[in-house]
């Protein structure tokens, strides 16, 4: 009895010891800044940056229309920027999914040696700095860049295409950056797909489409959901790609936040926008958590 208790308390101690570094790290570098952002978003902007310590909920009014005072007016443009950020992030998820899903099946059927080589290739881009890689896309997409040169020399187009500084360029850049993040969770899932279930479905007379929709897709869905979330969240807050490849004409909420802090000296407004992004991310994650815990409950039943 006594020994049992000691083992129990040792286990607790070990757990505390193991969990405390990450807890302290998250507490110090995530919760405290988050708290500061929440507080700042309800304060008045200081004339020269910083904040005035007066209660000022009107930063939110400027974005969502309520509450307002004489000085802050509702500007629907902020919601429309947010909606277009949602659109760009969703398109990024869709295109990277379309690339990664078939690729994951292809890689999972390779021999072990080729498989590890391909996985190494997929992580290879991380060895180069992100800015350098985005800059490379700028060089590829510009009118005198490689892609236009190639298209012109094989006679496909007469005039160089205007690809740079457009939504197209932004989505290309985003898909390029986030593809590895989509690939790895999907691959992990596809890798352990039980092919005996696929064969069973074929034996029982299912068409290929039925096999895919009723067996393969549900079994790989957790990987798709995980990859989509990992891509969607950073894509929504991205500001480097739109400012480089979108020429700052395509803008996302991230650009607006950067500008609030560095150009217009309006920290509380930047904080309010950042919390808006955060809230929508939390919603997406909650949705996924609820969905997967329901699925688990169903599985257990």
Partner 1 sequence: MKRMLTRLAGVASILLLTTQMASADGKLSLYNWGDYINPELIDAFSKEYKVDVTLDTYSTNEEMLARIQAGASGYDLVWPSVHMHDIMQKLGLLQAAHPNQMPGWENIDKAALRSHEDPQGDYCLPYAWGAVGILYNKKLIPDLKSWRQFFDYAKANPGKVTMLDDLRETLGVGLIMTGSSVNSRNPEEIEKAEAFIMQQKPNIGAFRYDVIPLVTSGDIAAGHYYVGGVLNVLQNPDLLGFVIPEEGATMYQEDVCLLEGAPNSENAELFMQFLMRPENAAKNSERLTNGVVNTAAVSLLPDNLKTNPSINPSPEVRAKLQIFEDLGKDLRVYTRAWDRIKTN
Residues counted in the chain? 301
Spatial CA neighbour of 270 closest among 261, 283, 281, 280: 261
153 vs 196 by CB, closer to partner 1: 153
Identity of the residue, 48 or 195, whose beta carbon is nearer to partner 1 in the bound complex: 48
CA neighbours closer than 13 Å in the CB half-sphere of residue 204: 10
- Cβ proximity to partner 1: between 173 and 246 the closer is 246
**Cβ of residue 83: shortest distance to partner 1, in angstroms?**
11
Start-to-end C-alpha separation, the chain: 35
CB of 126 to partner 1, least distance (A): 18
What φ, ψ does residue 54 adopt, rounded to 5°? -125, 145
For the beta carbon of residue 242, count every other beta carbon within 10 angstroms.
Answer: 25
- In whole angstroms, the minimum distance from the beta carbon of 26 to partner 1 comes to 22
Smallest gap from residue 156 Cβ to partner 1 (A): 19
Write out the residues near partner 1 by the rule CB under 8 A: 47-50, 75, 77-78, 80-81, 131, 142-145, 162, 164-165, 240, 243, 246-249, 251, 255-256, 259, 261-266
* Closer by beta carbon to partner 1, 57 or else 247: 247
Question: Which residue matches tokens 């950073």?
Answer: 234
For residues 63 and 186, which CB has a smaller minimum distance to partner 1 in the complex? 63
Nearer Cβ to partner 1, position 18 or 83?
Answer: 83
CB of 17 to partner 1, least distance (A): 35
What are the structure tokens assigned to 146, written together? 């490689």
In the complex, what is the shortest distance from the CB of residue 134 to partner 1, in angstroms, rounded to a whole number?
Answer: 11
> Which C-beta is closer to partner 1: that of 35 or that of 218?
35
Q: Find the shortest distance in angstroms from Cβ 262 to partner 1.
A: 5
Which lies closer to partner 1 via its Cβ, residue 101 or residue 269? 269
Minimum distance between the CB of residue 37 and partner 1, rounded to whole angstroms? 15
């Amino acid at each position: 009895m006594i020994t049992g208790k000691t083992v129990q308390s040792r286990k607790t101690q070990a757990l505390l010891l193991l969990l405390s570094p990450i807890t302290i790290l998250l507490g110090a570098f995530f919760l405290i800044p988050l708290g500061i952002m929440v507080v700042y978003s309800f304060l008045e902007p200081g004339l020269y940056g910083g904040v005035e310590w007066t209660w000022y909920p009107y930063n939110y009014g400027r974005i969502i229309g309520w509450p307002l005072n004489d000085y802050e007016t509702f500007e629907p443009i902020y919601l429309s920027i947010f909606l277009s950020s949602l659109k760009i992030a969703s398109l990024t998820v869709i295109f990277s999914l379309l690339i990664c899903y078939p690729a994951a099946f292809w890689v999972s059927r390779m021999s072990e040696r080729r498989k590890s080589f391909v996985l190494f290739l997929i992580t290879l881009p991380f060895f180069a700095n992100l800015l350098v890689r985005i800059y490379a896309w700028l060089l590829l997409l510009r009118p005198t860049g490689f892609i236009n040169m190639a298209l012109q020399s094989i006679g496909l187009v007469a005039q160089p295409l205007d690809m740079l500084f457009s939504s197209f360029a932004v989505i290309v850049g985003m898909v390029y950056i986030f593809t590895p993040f989509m690939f790895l969770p999907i691959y992990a899932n596809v890798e352990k797909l039980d092919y005996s279930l696929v064969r069973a479905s074929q034996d029982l007379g299912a068409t290929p489409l039925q096999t895919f929709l009723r067996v393969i897709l549900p079994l790989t869905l957790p990987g798709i959901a995980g990859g989509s979330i990992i891509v969607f969240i950073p894509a929504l807050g991205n500001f480097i790609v739109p400012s480089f490849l979108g020429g700052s004409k395509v803008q996302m909420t991230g650009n607006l936040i950067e500008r609030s802090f560095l150009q217009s000296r309006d920290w509380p407004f930047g904080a309010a926008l950042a919390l808006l992004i955060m809230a929508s991310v939390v919603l997406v994650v909650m949705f996924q958590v609820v969905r997967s815990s329901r699925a688990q409950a169903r599985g257990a039943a």
